[in-house]
Chains A and B, each alone.
Chain A
């Protein structure tokens, strides 16, 4: 007997309304605003200007648009690579049978993730502090010269990446742990009986089976890292000389400091497009379900 689909649609209607109101409508609004000249101090007055906001963004010199793209991708790439890598490594470690107090360590590792981004920024600012910071103190113990971490145009970007890695690893740890716990233990028993060594178990069983979790982790973490604002703002405010000015900081300054809401929306739209392109690349690259249905 065939069920009428209407009932199903009724069930999802509340959620659908929520998605339209809180996700679809804001995106449409941002697209609409990005083609208008809107001033923060006169928010009700909009003038249609076509692609001029985008043209102005691409023509910008301080910071040049390409520099913002580079800083953003370096920040996102560096952060996500370590988030997923270290998260997976920790998840694998905490999944080993002989490790005691797994729940304690999992909860402990969650602390950075539940800490507000701005607090993470301030905390790492203290750690990176050139004279009183612990990092330079540790370097002095091994006779390395102290560094002006967040003040040096060459070191500022790595500094904010390190702080963001520390904050984001727990998120990956939880996702990867969920993936590892979904694997049927009988597969491991069978592999051991067949004489597989730990490396073979990892590469032939564990990684292929958590691949979809890694993909999910990559997509979600990339999206979240693109939006990181407070940690960077607290540590460097995008400086020195725009060397840590990611899309989110660039958007904030344009829209709220300089009051150009239309141009800020155009930057947000570009950020959305970049995020979507990367998500598509991830999906194409990983092709989830390929093994299952091939």
Chain B
């Protein structure tokens, strides 16, 4: 009997060993490819993607990761068309304003279970960011990086006007008064620039002024327009005053793309402008040191109205997993490697963005040493707002841009144009399917 048991045990071990070694061999041999559609500028440097690929491959040598970088307009279209055709990538980078469209149509999947399984990561996100990656209470992505709208100005042009180059206007009244002093239209230099072209940038740079007076774009449940409140009218009146009354913002802003407005600022054509801080990256490329940049460009929170409260707006990018992914858990594990504190901090420092997690903010000294406006960004970050992450946002934005342009071209008053746009937006929202 003993002999029989020993033979059985040996046979069991041999068979088990064979099975397990065979299984391991199969797992080791299985080559997996994860694909990703991400923004083009993020693949021009090691962090966040390629550095994460190197780390990930140490643990998963059988996984190959293929990333394709796309320009802004192509990113959304290519993802939607690829997933619509059932050939979507595993990982996609999603602008925070697309979240509702992607989530409500199951283009990206609900990752709540996977995120809940990692409380360290889940609780590490600053609350406002985690919530803005949620659709109807479920998590649909991991925030990568953000930005905030701030006031930038040319210190040398302030000096030229006899102003303190380090003192930014703090109120709307001060903004108008300062803009008049740093306005030399005959020399092609205007006091203040903001985007007014037919794109979302125009609405996006107007929203902070709306928030400052206590206004909001939509109601909290995203079902009703609220941007035509007195706060909205006052915010739009400010832009009309700057362009049509004070003439410190040229009319040609209506025909210039946002990037060209920024280029105009860099070419000293505008003394001040509302911007998201990308200037630093450009100036650094030109060889400017941080000290030189700080001597040249001032950055401050946006001026607020009398009795208003500080506010700003943010954009930014979220990483999601598409419904076509055959390996969602593996894709999530890779994304965790991407958003790992050190990896993402390296990207934020290289790119001049703003972190979205508590552990990343602890590296404050590193950001302060390498991002010239980080102290201001950190100050305004708690007052930031996001655009509504609903599928109809692009239609809503188009109506708001129309309203802003109608007021700026003096075709309608700010109140009338916003009221008209609100009616349209309510019609759009009445047809929502969520």
Nearest to A234 among chain B residues (CB) is B257
Give the total of B residues in contact with A, Cβ under 8 Å.
36
- Given A43-B85, A259-B101, A149:B255 Cβ within 8 A: yes
Q: Are A150 and B101 in contact (CB under 8 A)?
A: no
Flag whether B405 is at the interface (Cβ < 8 A): yes
A206 CA to B257 CA, complexed, in Å: 46
Does A236 sit within 8 A of B, measured CB to CB? yes
Top 6 A-B pairs, shortest CB-CB distance = A151-B255, A239-B198, A150-B255, A43-B84, A41-B105, A151-B254
Q: From DSSP, what is the main secondary structure of chain A's interface residues?
A: loop
A4 interface residue, CB < 8 Å from B? no
- B395 — which chain A residues lie within 8 A by C-beta? 258
**DSSP class of B's interface residues: helix, strand, loop or mixed?**
helix
Interface 9-mer from B141-149, B245-253, B382-390:
B245-253
A258 to B409, CA, bound (A): 25
With the chains together, A258 CA to B251 CA distance in Å?
28
Residues of A contacting B105 with CB < 8 Å? 39, 41-42
Interface on A for B, CB 8 Å cutoff? 39-44, 61-62, 125, 128-132, 148-153, 156, 236-242, 253, 256-259
> Which residues of B sit under 8 angstroms from A128, Cβ to Cβ?
255
Q: Of A43, A130, A257, which one neighbours B252 at CB under 8 angstroms?
A: A130
Whether a CB of chain A sits under 8 angstroms from the CB of B188 is yes
Cross-chain pair count, CB within 8 angstroms:
93
B255–A43 touching, CB < 8 Å: no
What is the CA–CA distance of A258 and B254 in the complex, to the nearest angstrom? 22
A23–B159 Cα gap in the complex (Å)?
A: 64
Contact between B255 and A241, CB atoms less than 8 A apart? no
Neighbouring A residues of B188 by C-beta, 8 Å: 131-132
Does chain A have a CB within 8 A of B394?
yes
Say whether B84 contacts A44, CB under 8 Å: yes
Some 10 contacts from A to B, beta carbons below 8 A apart, are: A40-B80, A41-B101, A41-B104, A41-B105, A41-B107, A131-B250, A148-B254, A236-B198, A236-B255, A239-B197
Q: Which of B77, B81, B198 has the most CB of A within 10 A?
A: B198
Knowing A151-B256, A153-B409 touch, does A256 contact B101 (C-beta < 8 A)?
no
Also in contact, A43 and B254, with CB within 8 A (given A237-B199, A240-B405): no
The residue of chain B having its C-beta at the shortest distance from the C-beta of A132 within the complex is B188
Contacts of B256 in A (CB 8 A): 150-151
| Interface contact A131-B198, CB-CB below 8 Å | no
Query: In the complex, what distance in Å separates the CA atom of A40 from the CA atom of B83?
Result: 10
Instruction: Determine the chain B residues whose CB is within 8 A of the CB of A253 once the complex forms.
Output: 398
A152 vs B251: C-alpha distance when bound (angstroms):
8
Residue of B84, B252, B409 near A42 (CB, 8 A) is B84
Q: Which residues of B contact A39 (CB under 8 A)?
A: 105
A41 to B434, CA, bound (A): 14
Tell me which residues from 93 to 123 in chain B have a Cβ below 8 Å from any Cβ of chain A. 101-102, 104-105, 107
